[in-house]
Structure 1
Amino acid sequence: MTRFLHLSFFLFSFIITAQLKSPSEFLGYELGSEFTRHYEVVDYYEYLAKEASDRVKLIEYGQTNERRPLLLAFVSSAENISNLENIRQEHLKDIEGSGNTSKAIVWLSYNVHGNESVGTEASMQTIYELLTTKSSYLEDTVVIMDPCINPDGRDRYSNWYNQYKNSPHQVDPNSKEHNEGWWSGRSNHYMFDLNRDWAWLTQVESQQRLKYYNKWLPHVHVDFHEQGVDNPYYFAPAAEPYHEVITDFQRDFQVTLGKNHAKYFDANGWFYFTKEIFDLFYPSYGDTYPTYNGAIGMTYEQGGSGRGGLGVITKIGDTLTLKDRIAHHHTTGLSTVEVASKNADKLNSEFKKFYKNRNFKYKNYVLNGDEDKIIALKKLLSKHEIAYGSPSKGSVKGFNYSTGTSGSMPISEKSLVVSTNQPKATLVKVLFEPNAKLSDSLTYDITAWSLPYAYGLNAIATTSSVDGTFTDNSSDEDKVVHIYVGKPTIDEGAYAYVTDWNSMEDTRFLAELFKNGIRVRKADHPFTIKGSTFKRGSLIITRADNQNKSDFIESLQRISQKHLVQLTSVNTGYVDSGKDFGSSSVQMITKPKIAMLSGKPTSTLRFGEIWHFFEQQLHYPVTILDSDYWDKVDLKDYHILILPGGGYGNYFTESQLTKLKEWVKNGGKLLAMGGAINAIDGENGFGIKKKEVEKDSSKNQPKPHKNSQREFIKKAITGAIFKTKVDNSHPLAYGYGTDYFTLKLGSDSYDYLKNGNAVYLEGNTKPVSGFAGSEAQKKVGSSLIFGVEQYGQGQVIYMIDNPLFRGFWENGKLFFANALFMVD
């Protein structure tokens, strides 16, 4: 009788499984013969969640900027799905060493780059086979699948391809369907690279995804990608450098997975490579961030990307099809789940060990600085569920970030302490360490990112404990508030209201004042009034300037409370020291009308950083002028024109450059960033000049070809942090001290200006963190970082380094705001 019941159950399960439609059956076309639009992908996952509800749980974890849903599918056996929450809670107990689960948690992330579109297609075939032919993998495994991390970018690509492809599709790589335009499908709505945003969380997709990632903290995480069409498949193990916190088990398990993948690829005669190009160092990738949270984090790269289309001829004459690409990603996806299911016990035991090991050199990172910057950092830490606290009053000793040597720093209850004695200890070390140990200078991305430098805070890394109050912080960053209690109030009868200019919160305050029609002045000299001292750039809001605004006091009170800005009410414009409020040194800030160039030759990434800054951080309008027609626009309508970084070359014609110069001469403000400066320097441009470096002829000797990469890296700077000098009497540097730590992304360098050198490098150019080649260090010595050239009645503002890089270099953002509001 028992045998009959087992047979009946097997037959019933087979019938139910057989009834599930494959992706091709559901979509109505063979998978790989078309690009599936995002809504169709959602439809298929919803179908599976309905028809196999005992084995699939589907949730919508958020929406994109363009209102497309973000999904997670939990796939496992019926028993595991019915016990899903208990499995999760028991798994998280492993962080403290008390868990008792034997299930492996595998998270598969697809299509983080929108035009690397095969991932989403492969995900549908993968989930289908996990529910049918490969269901045995699910007995000991919970698989979490994100079918499309970047729906906005994916639909941008698939819609573009469906619009421009030949019918039938054309495999000639020169055809239009293989050559996307300036705004490719790679990025999200704001043109950010979501695969470099895991740690910085500047984008809504990343923020919403991480809330669920932290709820599960999987044992294995795979980020599915594509690369150039001529490259074979890449899978783990990764290349050097590996960050030193990565454990032996994490390294070894990558090898285990790689060998299993190779078995299937070998059987099919498919080409692949490992241990090259894609390293495990920069913390904001979809492989490294999970690794620093205890997972086996990996990148898988299939040849194809936006150039692939439905089929394309490679350089060796083969035809790479979308069906081929699907087969490869589908194979590694299933192979990953297979290996995890066979090693579930080992994954669980090693996960416990990862979180048990918290024996790092630095026990605490203690930070002082502007309160708004402290709060901004707290918000980031809360998103990562990193605990922090307040120290007892006194002082701490340890490594001083500012000097690069041992030192001490006074602390108070307003200081911030982040300890490595917590579950997220490894991530804390990686994000806060002064200078990450680099085992190989040939890396895939930047080599420095330390948060104290990025947020402009004074910091000490201590090897001993720090007394203080440490609480279990909420993961809701909106609950992070200013230290002082109560809402700021103002004296309705005051002559003027004054506040400091130190941070991005101050810039948002100013932007909202402008939006509400409130006029504001700035102090170009320090002054003392009513016993308080205010620095250059401080905002002065007078009743006289706003006497025609009937709701002036009400609006000012509301806006200051919203931004928690403390206004000092004063009953006179007569200062104790400095310049009185009627002085020519206390000028009205112009409410600027701002335009920005888009399209070629700008970089989509550099453009997107600025676009996001205006709309999501500053909340101030910007007009976008496309390169196709900008020179037909009357620039007199705008106070500021921004040229984002990019590959300009000789982009501007002589007549266009003449037009720009005339506009600046008549009072316009031109803000040129990064590569844009190359297009406006030289004899026919403005006054900035490239730095000339004397060549050493003795080094101009033949070098072995095998050393070519090593020779090249001598001239490169791979995202290193340098300590610069700041002239904070210049309006471009209002709100800063005398030093600034800049993130330098290359060796482009320019001579000092005759005047207006707001931020610059002196002769000693050794980076404080990260890698810079020996030849590159010589090149950037005694060079400009940020400066202003007076040109007629207007100005040209130069930003050689990028203060808005990937939206995470918080301490650079005030320079950009100064360029908009303070430079005149």
Structure 2
Amino acid sequence: MTRFLLLSFFLFSFISSAQLKSPSEFLGYKLGTEFTRHHEVVDYYEYLAKEAPDRVKLTIYGQTNERRPLLLAYVSSSENISNLENIRTEHLKDTKGSGNSSKAIVWLSYNVHGNESVSTEASMQTIYDLLTSKSSYLEDTVVIMDPCINPDGRDRYSNWYNQYKNSPYQVDPNSKEHNEGWWNGRSNHYMFDLNRDWAWLTQVESQQRMKVYNDWLPHVHVDFHEQGVDNPYYFAPAAEPYHEVITDFQRDFQVTLGKNHAKYFDANGWFYFTKEIFDLFYPSYGDTYPTYNGAIGMTYEQGGSGRGGLGVITKIGDTLTLKDRLAHHHTTGLSTVEVASKNAKKLNSEFKKFYQKRDFKYKSYVLNGDEDKINALKDLLAKHKIEYSAASKGTVKGFNYTTGSNGNMTTSNNSLVVSTNQPKGTLVKVLFEPNAKLSDSLTYDITAWSLPYAYGLNAVASNSLISSSGNDSSVDPITNNSVNPNSYAYIADWNSMKDARFLATLLKNGIRVRKADHPFSIEGKSFKRGSLIITKADNQNKTDFIAVLTKTANEYKKEITNSKTGFVDSGKDFGSSYVQMITKPKIAVLSGKPTSTLRFGEIWHFFEQQLHYPITVLNSDYANNVDLKDYHILVLPSGNYGNFFKEKQLTKLQDWVKGGGKIIAMGGSINAIDGEKGFGIKKKETKKDSTANKPKPHKNAQRENIKNAITGAIFKTKVDNTHPLAYGYGTDYFTLKLGSASYDYLKNGNAVYLENNTTPVSGFAGSKALKKVGNTLVFGAQNYGQGQVIYMVDNPLFRGFWENGKLFFANALFMVD
């Protein structure tokens, strides 16, 4: 009877599998001959979940900015799917040392870059094979599949390609179908690179995915990518530098996986490479972030990307097709699950070891600072399920981030303590350490990111475990302001992005606001430069003034000080010419070539999702025909401008600024309007290196080139906080410098600048690059006629995560006049 039942079970499973339609059968075309749109991918996954509900559980974990669904498919044996929640909870117990899990958890992420489009196609063939011919892999494995992390970008690419391809497709790489326009399919809706957002969580896709990822914390995570058309396939093991927290097992298991992939590639005669280019250091990738959370995190890279199309001729004369690309990703995906299933026991035991207490140099990170900045950091930590608490009152000894040396810091109940003595302790070390150890200066991304610097907080890294008060840190924010309708004026401070959002909302709602250009005290309270002054007289014609002010203050939890007079105890009275009205600016932002999509996207996202203030996007195709008199501010994102502004356009720009307009020039756009082009900023001239033309070995070319590079290093700068561009800041600012572009000090208006001592506090900077950036401008403003030109050499909006830089941009909008 038992044999009969067993035979019946396997027979049923076989018949059920045989009845499942393959992707090609379901879609109506052979997989790899077309690009499948996102809704069709969703349809196929929904079909599988309906036809095999005992082995596929499909969930929608979120929605993109363009309202496309974000999916996860849980694929495993019938027994495992029926016991899925118990498997998950038992697995998570391993992070606290009490679990007894036996199943391997493998998470496969596809298409984080939209125009690296083959991986979503491969995902459909992979899930089909896991349910049919490779179902034995699922007995000891739960596979979590995200068929498309970036549906907005992928549909942007697939729709573009389907629109412009030849019929039949053209393999000539010069053909239109192999050359996307400025706004390509790589990024998400806001032109962000989602593969660099895992740690910072600035985008909705990342935020929604992280909620589910933290509910599982898989043993293995694969991020499927594509690279240049002429590159062979890349898979693990990764290149140096490896971050020092990565365990020997994590290193070794990458080799185990790589050898298994190589077995299949060798059998097919496919080319591949390992241990090159793609390192494991920067924490916000789809391979490093999972690694720092205990997984075997890996990137797989197939040649092709946006230029691949359905088929393209490579430089050696071969034809690379979408079918070829699909076969490679399909093979490594199945190979990954195979290896995990064979090593489920080892993966579980090593995962549990990863979460055991580790002896890191710094046991606690203690932070002081503005309450708004503390709360912004707490919000990020909560999304990562990193534990934090309030410090006890006293003194903490350790490495002081501000001074760059050992010292003391006084703590209060408002101080934040983040310890490595917690399940996410390894991630804490990676995100908070003052200066990550770099085993090799040849890296793929930025080399510094420490959160205390990014959030503008005073911090001490302590060798001791710092006790906490056991409570949440910071005082309760204001939730119910008492705005006295009989007051003469209402005052709010200016320190953070929360304050900028408060101001932006008031301006949008027609409330007139002034700013204090000098510190002042009134009725026993002191206020700094930049403080907001809202008078009843300025708003006497707005009948709902008090209601709007009260609602806005409560919305942003802003404390409002009621003042019965405009006569100050010290400083300038409210009627002084030093208490000017803030203009409600109409803002235009240049887009299209020559701007960088990433840099434009950061600005776009800043206005719409962070500041909540409207902008007009002017595309470069017609921008020169727009009358700038309709705008107060023109933002020029960084990019490769070359000679974009012709003499006529430069004259037009100059006349507009002289008449009262304001340019905010960022990064590479400064070259388009520098001293040679008619404005007052000049590139720094450096002495020529007498050894520059001396012959050097070709093998050392990369090492020589990086001497001129700054790969995302943090520098301590000087701040003139009497300048409106620096209102709300102290006398120091830690800037994230992404290159060696350098400009001389302005005659006046140097708000943030580097002095001659240019050693970075964290990250890599080449020896020749350091000589270029000494005594140079970081942020400055130049009066030009009745208007201003604001220069932002470094990028305060970089990837949306350098929180402490954002107020500079808000100052450029609202405070500089």
Q: Report TM bin, short chain.
A: over 0.9
Aligned residues: 817
Distance in 2 (CA, whole Å) between partners of 1:232 and 1:298 is 17
Give, in whole Å, the separation in 2 of the partners of 1:740 and 1:9: 67
Tell me whether 118-127 or 390-399 shows the greater mean CA deviation.
390-399
1:476 maps to none
Deviation of 1:650 (Å): 1.5
Shift of the alpha carbon at 1:489? 1.8
Please state if 1:692 is matched with 2:699: no
Q: Does 1:816 align with 2:804?
A: no
Alpha-carbon displacement from aligned partner over 1:693-717 (angstroms, at most 9, x marks no partner) = 0013145311100111111111100
Partner of 2:421: 421
SS in 2 for 1:697: coil
Task: Name the CA distance, whole Å, in 1 between partners of 2:478 and 2:587.
Answer: 37
Match of 1:706 in 2: 699
CA distance in 1 between counterparts of 2:509 and 2:608 reads 17
Question: How many Å separate the matches in 1 of 2:562 and 2:556?
Answer: 17
1:659 matched residue in structure 2: 652
CA distance in 2, matches of 1:482, 1:274: 51
Show the counterpart of 1:561. Answer: 554
Deviations 1:527-578 (A, max 9, x none): 1111111111000000000001111111111110110110111111110111
The residue aligned with 1:341 is 341
Amino acid at match of 2:605: H
1:640: how far off?
A: 0.1
Contact 2:746–2:782 at 8 Å: present in 1 too? yes
1:494 pairs with one of 482, 487, 499: 487
Residue equivalent to 1:251? 251
Match of 2:600 in 1: 607
List aligned pairs for 1:722-737, cutoff 5 A: 722-737=715-730
- CA-CA distance at 1:670 after TM superposition: 0.5
Provide the secondary structure at the position in 2 that maps to 1:749: coil
Partner of 1:787: 780
Deviation at 1:484, TM superposition (A): 4.3
Task: Judge conservation of contact 2:391–2:469 (CA < 8 Å) in 1.
Answer: yes
State the alpha-carbon separation in 2 of the partners of residues 80 and 367 from structure 1.
Answer: 44
8 Å contact from structure 2 (residues 477, 557) kept in 1: no
Please show how residues 251-270 of structure 1 align to structure 2 within 5 Å: 251-270=251-270
Q: Give 2:332's aligned residue.
A: 332
- Aligned with 2:677: secondary structure? coil
How far off is 1:488 after superposition? Answer: 2.4
- Partners of 2:223 and 2:287 within 8 A in 1: yes
Structure 1 counterpart SS, 2:355: helix
Q: Secondary structure at the match of 1:74?
A: strand
- Is 1:88 the counterpart of 2:88 in the alignment? yes
Match of 1:66 in 2: 66
Structure 2 distance, partners of 1:117, 1:630, is 32
Q: Is 1:536 the equivalent of 2:498? A: no
Q: Is the contact made by 2:583 and 2:814 (CA closer than 8 Å) also made in structure 1? A: yes
Q: Specify the SS of the correspondent of 1:323.
A: helix
What SS does the aligned partner of 1:430 have? Answer: helix
- Do 1:388 and 1:470's aligned partners in 2 also have CA atoms closer than 8 Å? no
CA distance, structure 2, for counterparts of residue 365 and residue 109 of structure 1: 33
Is 2:241–2:281's contact at 8 Å kept on the other side of the alignment?
A: yes
For the residues of structure 1 that align with 2:13 and 2:423, how far apart are their CA atoms? Answer: 42
In 2, the alpha carbon distance for the partners of 1:390 and 1:632 equals 56
Q: Identify which of 598, 618, 624 aligns with 2:617.
A: 624
Match of 2:795 among 769, 782, 802: 802
Counterparts of 1:253 and 1:484 in 2: how far apart (Å)? 48
Structure 2 counterpart SS, 1:299: strand
Q: TM-score, normalised by structure 2?
A: 0.99
Whether the 8 Å CA contact 1:501–1:537 is kept in 2: the answer is: yes
Taking the aligned partners of 1:354 and 1:742, their CA distance within structure 2 comes to: 33
Aligned-partner residue type, residue 795 of structure 1: Q
**Counterpart in 1 of 2:671?**
678
Q: Return the offset for 1:393.
A: 1.0
Aligned to 2:174: 174
Aligned to 1:297: 297
Match of 1:507 among 490, 497, 500: 500
Q: Distance in 2 between matches of 1:498 and 1:658?
A: 41
Alignment partner of 1:576 is 2:563: no
How far apart in 2 are the matches of 1:713 and 1:217? 36
Look up the equivalent residue of 2:512 and give its one-letter code.
Answer: R
Q: What does residue 203 of structure 2 align with? A: 203
Instruction: Return the offset for 1:229.
Output: 0.3
The residue correspondences of 1:50-449 to structure 2 (distance < 5 A) are 50-449=50-449
Give the superposition deviation at 1:486: 4.9
Q: Secondary structure at 1:546's aligned position in 2?
A: coil
Which consecutive unaligned segments of at least 5 residues does structure 2 have?
none
Partner of 2:735: 742
Distance 2:214 2:784 in 1: 52
Aligned-residue RMSD, C-alpha: 1.0
Paired residues of 1:435 and 1:450 also in contact (CA < 8 A)? yes
Match of 1:758? 751
Report the alpha carbon displacement of residue 490 of structure 1 after superposing the two structures with TM: 1.9
Per the alignment, residue 28 of structure 2 pairs with 28
Quick one: distance in 1 between partners of 2:691 and 2:465?
53
What percent of counterpart residues are identical? 82
The answer to whether residue 30 in structure 2 is matched with residue 47 in structure 1 is no
For the residue of structure 1 that corresponds to 2:674, the secondary structure is coil
Deviations 1:60-84 (A, max 9, x none): 0000000000000000000000000
Deviation at 1:481, TM superposition (A): 8.4
User: Quick one: which amino acid aligns to residue 312 of structure 2?
Assistant: V
| Separation in 1, partners of 2:181, 2:345 | 48
* Matches of 2:119 and 2:419, distance apart in 1: 38
Work out whether residues 375 and 482 of structure 1, in 8 Å CA contact, stay in contact via their aligned partners in 2: no
* Structure 1 residues 508 and 481: CA distance shift in structure 2, 3 A: farther
Are the counterparts in 1 of residues 479 and 557 from structure 2 also a CA contact under 8 Å?
Answer: no
Choose 9-18 or 564-573, whichever is displaced more.
Answer: 9-18
When structure 1 is superposed on structure 2, of 447-456 and 650-659 the one drifting more is 650-659
| Whole-angstrom CA distance in 1 between matches of 2:231 and 2:395 | 55
Give the conservation status (yes or no) of the 8 Å contact 2:478–2:559. Answer: no
Task: Look up the match of 1:477.
Answer: none
The amino acid of 2:668's aligned partner reads G
CA distance in 1, matches of 2:475, 2:815: 26
Cα shift readout 1:568-627 (whole Å, capped 9, x = no counterpart): 111111101110000000000000000000000000000000000000000000000000
Q: Which runs of 4+ in 1 moved over 4 A?
A: none
Give 5+ residue unaligned stretches, structure 1.
474-479
Aligned-residue offset at 1:683: 2.5
TM-score, length basis structure 1: 0.98
Code of the aligned partner of 1:609: E
How far apart, CA to CA, are the structure 2 residues paired with 1:176 and 1:697? 46
Conserved? CA contact 2:658–2:785, under 8 Å: yes
